[in-house]
Amino acid sequence: MPFSNVAERREQPPTLAVSTVIFSLRDDERTGRKSLWLPLVRRTREPFRGQWALPGGPLGPRDSLLDAAANNLRDTTGLIPRYLEQLYAFGDLDRSPTRRVVSIVYWALVREDDPHDTATSVLLDDPNVAWFRAEDPEVLGNLAFDHREIIEYALWRLRNKVEYGSIAHRLLGERFTLAQVREVYEAVLDKELDPANFRRTLRSTPDIEETDEFLSGGKHRPPRLYRYTGSTTHPLESENIS
Amino acid sequence: MPFSNVAERREQPPTLAVSTVIFSLRDDERTGRKSLWLPLVRRTREPFRGQWALPGGPLGPRDSLLDAAANNLRDTTGLIPRYLEQLYAFGDLDRSPTRRVVSIVYWALVREDDPHDTATSVLLDDPNVAWFRAEDPEVLGNLAFDHREIIEYALWRLRNKVEYGSIAHRLLGERFTLAQVREVYEAVLDKELDPANFRRTLRSTPDIEETDEFLSGGKHRPPRLYRYTGSTTHPLESENIS
DNA sequence: CTTAGTTCTGGTCAAGTTGACACTAACTGG
DNA sequence: CCAGTTAGTGTCAACTTGACCAGAACTAAG
């Protein structure tokens, strides 16, 4: 351990790191509904060796914050999310037991079946990366650093955001049924919604556009597919990955 | 200038700084209504010497991010806001022409007549600190660094926030009339609101409580004073200044 | 003292939105 | 072709919203 006491390490200039909370929608046998999952990486070094943590790493001198988050994510998990938004900067003095670290945390929404998302292969092969239910108390209770608070804050932000904006499409594919959008809302808000009323409100927003296609294969009338148009987020919050 | 070219300075570890956008509500003769004002400090050193900039400074090794913002604000402007919330971390490579700087930006809402707010004296005596209309194009067009974008983003966040939460009371005193709350909304949203309807909606929220007092002195029927109760913000976003 | 001017405050009404729910449409699988 | 399942439409009552009216309660002018 590089510093023997708190006073000493506090004199060091703060280190800058970047981490990411990634949410995806997956089936949850426990509830029968879909719910939110997130990938974690196992720490291979002290402190917190062996415990699960958010993917992250130091800020390189040549990377913007966003690039640093995206690059690190690619390297540690194989994920290349289309959507990455800054969540919060965490800078308390005692976040890490060994050094003063300020972490800029990003959050991402990914789709299980995204073609960009090469993660499936990487994640399956690497025992140090795995997906967990975002609200599993077992998981949240044993994370490294202050990552529990970070995830809980990310969940809070997600809920707030889904309520008054449309980010649901980021968890879905290019085309989607209204029932899929409803599943997103149900997973995030954790309650059931009336399909008919939900349809009515969604169709009244200008952001979602009907296509001529239908999704067949279910044991029922094939639902129409829709497409997302429009952008309600601030430029700062919708930068694209370079 | 410490580094002669871009490639060289980019190899340096990023410097961490903290800045703050402070909004206050003041009379605006131009519109007749109240509008948002913010204090800026004149830069005394290169780069951007002589131009106006947000108050800010480097992150000290012993300060949390919030403390750093609060302390710096006190030292440069004399302001001690009750409310300080993290806005965003700005970290693009070319924000500063001389060094790589990552700035954690906070934003604050202060009241003109806050007893905490010792700023009046300091601000009046110091020619390098002054208040400006937050949306004055003259001012926004001549700021140092990327501070124009930062302020515009802060305004955007403020509008979003005031729409679905109650932060108006932070710009007002302990007790306030409903008309004062309406003035806040009118200033932030930049449109007039119907007093009767506004009253109806405000009184239906549980966050605002009637008192037995009335405000006399106006040339009209004295309005009842109200008090704010309740807290809708996430713990992370309502930390108190130490 | 009266009256004009002002804002506060309570109310009404029509239009729009929301939640609950009934019912028909269109597919699959036996 | 019939049962099962979800898609999608329609309706109704309750609630919310915006526009506006009118009385209440103060100050200031005469």
| DSSP-derived secondary structure for B126-154 | -TTEEEEETT-HHHHTTBSTTHHHHHHHH
What is the value of pTM for the model shown?
Answer: 0.84
CA of A220: nearest nucleotide by C1' is: C27
Cα–Cα distance measured from residue B187 to residue B223, given in angstroms and rounded to the nearest whole number: 20
In this prediction, residue A66 carries a pLDDT of: 95
Using a CB-CB cut-off of 8 Å, the residues of chain A touching B64 are: 91-93
The three-state secondary structure class of A166 is coil
The answer to whether residue A226 scores a pLDDT higher than 80 is yes
Compute chain B's Rg from CA coordinates: 20
Interatomic separation, CA of residue A197 and C1' of nucleotide C19, rounded (Å) = 8
Strand A56-58 to A15-27 pairing: antiparallel
C-beta of residue A62 within 8 angstroms of C-beta of residue B62: no
Phi, psi (rounded to 5 degrees) for A122: -60, -45
Mean pLDDT for chain A overall: 84
Contacts of B163 (CB under 8 A, 6+ apart): B189
Q: How far is the CA of A173 from the C1' of D7 (A)?
A: 20
Which residue of A lies nearest to B13 if distances are taken between CA atoms? A61
Q: What is the pLDDT of residues B66-110, one digit of tens each?
A: 999 999 998 888 888 878 899 999 999 999 999 999 999 999 988
pLDDT band, very low/low/confident/very high, at B160 (cuts 50, 70, 90): confident
Instruction: Evaluate if residue B122 carries a pLDDT over 60.
Output: no
Instruction: State whether A64 and B234 contact (CB < 8 Å).
Output: no
pLDDT digits (tens, 9 = 90+) for A28-41: 877 777 889 999 99
Closest CA to B74 of B63, B88, B90: B63
Confidence label for A3 from pLDDT (cuts 50, 70 and 90): very low
CA of A189 to C1' of C19 (A): 17
Q: How far apart are CA B169 and CA B226, in angstroms?
A: 10
Complex-level ipTM: 0.81
A61 to B234: CB separation less than 8 angstroms, yes or no: no
pLDDT of amino acid A4: 46
Q: Which two tokens stand for residue B19?
A: 């800045």
CB within 8 Å of chain A, chain B residues 169-208: none
Q: Which residue has the higher pLDDT, A140 or A190?
A: A140
Continuous segment of H or E residues that includes residue B39: strand B34-42
Q: Nearest C-alpha of chain B: how many angstroms from A169?
A: 21
